[in-house]
Each structure stands twice: as C-alpha cells, then as structure tokens.
Chains A and B, each alone.
Chain A
Amino acid sequence: QVQLVQSGAEVKKPGASVKVSCRASGYSFTSYAFSWVRQAPGQGFEWMGWISGYNGNTKYAQKVQGRVTMTTDTSTNTAYMELRSLRPDDTAVYYCVREEGYYDTSSNLQYYFDYWGQGTLVTVSS
C-alpha cells in the first residue's frame, strides 16, 4: 500500500533552516509528483510548491520562493523540503502529498492530492 513517512518534529530558532524528509513506498516513485503543504496552528492549508518525482522539476509558491528548495532522491524514494531563514510564522505542520493525475473532459492532464504523509511539526521560536 502507498505510504509516505515523514521525518520527526523539529524546533528551530529564527533565521535557521529546516529540512523535512518524506520517504515513499508502495508505488513507483518516479511516476508521481509531490507537493508540500503546510498548516499553521488553527489555520487552513497553504500550498508551498511542487516537485516532479520523475525529473526533479519544481514550481514554488511566490510566498516562499527564494527560501524553499524541494529535492528528491530516487535511490531512496525520498522527497525533501528545505526552508531557510525561518520565521516564527513558519511554525506549522508540514505535509508531503502525492499528486495523482487524471484527464478531464477536454483531455487536459490535471492533478489532485491522493496520499498525505503523517505531517511534521516545525516550531520556530527563540
């Protein structure tokens, strides 16, 4: 069965960096893309960006562009999300999510998130 297992909780000081891992199993890693999504305490979800499991192409949300780097390691079926220059408002649960594709009625390839990791709490505090 598909599983996405993320690394454990982190506590960081403002200005530091964090790197969260997401190990995938139960499917062909290079056939799917990942998104990274975060949820601040008591808040809604925020999409951070996307990375192809096939070729490592990325697209980042403007809000975190310049501070985030998403990578994959196909030898270990692991995706990574690094966020730099951390601020207190980066405190959130970070999720990796697998993107499943489907064709719409116009034969356009579209995506949705079908499997989620268990989440990694990142706390940024001095």
Chain B
Amino acid sequence: DIQMTQSPSSLSASVGDRVTITCRASQTIRSYLHWYQQKPGKAPKLLIYAASTLQSGVPSRFSGSGSGTDFTLTISSLQPEDFATYFCLQSSTTPFTFGPGTKVDIK
C-alpha cells in the first residue's frame, strides 16, 4: 500500500497568514493527489484535485502543486473560515490512502 504522510500535523496561524501544508507519498503517484478540508462534525470538502486543479466554487486563495511524491497545499491569505483540518488522498493505486491530516488553528 502507498503510505501518505503530511507535515506539519498541526499549525497555529493568524488571519492573513500564508499557510503551506505538505503531503508526501511513499512511492510515485504522478499527479493523482487530491486535497480536502474537514471541519468538526462535517463531511470533508474537496478543494483541489489532480494535484493542482481548483474545484469549482473553491476560493482562489487555495492552490496546489507537486507531482511524483511531494505535494503542497497553499492558502495564500488565511481567512477565519479556513480554520479546519486538511488532508490529502492518493488515487494512483488501490487501496486509495489518505494523509493523516493537518489541523490549522488560530494563533
């Protein structure tokens, strides 16, 4: 199985900060990497698919990059509604596997 790791596991940031979260795969997954946001008690929401394509309706302050084994989610200017947990998903090979998540909270 492909193992997914994320860093950091948590971070504290202020409104307006630029935030970067990294996801790493244990083997190459080309660009088959997707990013999600989850708030407590809610279902996850798709932000980015295919490593860098912004899902319709998602604010442009979210962006994704990377290919192969290393990927990045960037929030250019953190907004109050962005405090949540973010996780990645690889769909290169079954079983699809997820990163453990990065919790973004208020500094």
Contacts and interface: CB of A to CB of B under 8 A. Distances in A.
A95 B42 CA distance: 11
A111 B32 CA distance: 8
Interface residues of A, number: 25
A110 B32 contact: yes
A61 B43 contact: no
Contacts of A115: 46
B50 A117 contact: no
Contacts of B43: 95, 116-119
Contacts of A112: 34, 46, 49-50, 89, 91
A7 to B, nearest CB: 15
A102 B101 CA distance: 25
Given A100-B49, A102-B49, 15 more contacts: A44-B100, A45-B98, A47-B96, A47-B97, A61-B94, A95-B44, A104-B32, A104-B50, A112-B49, A112-B89, A112-B91, A113-B34, A113-B44, A115-B46, A117-B43
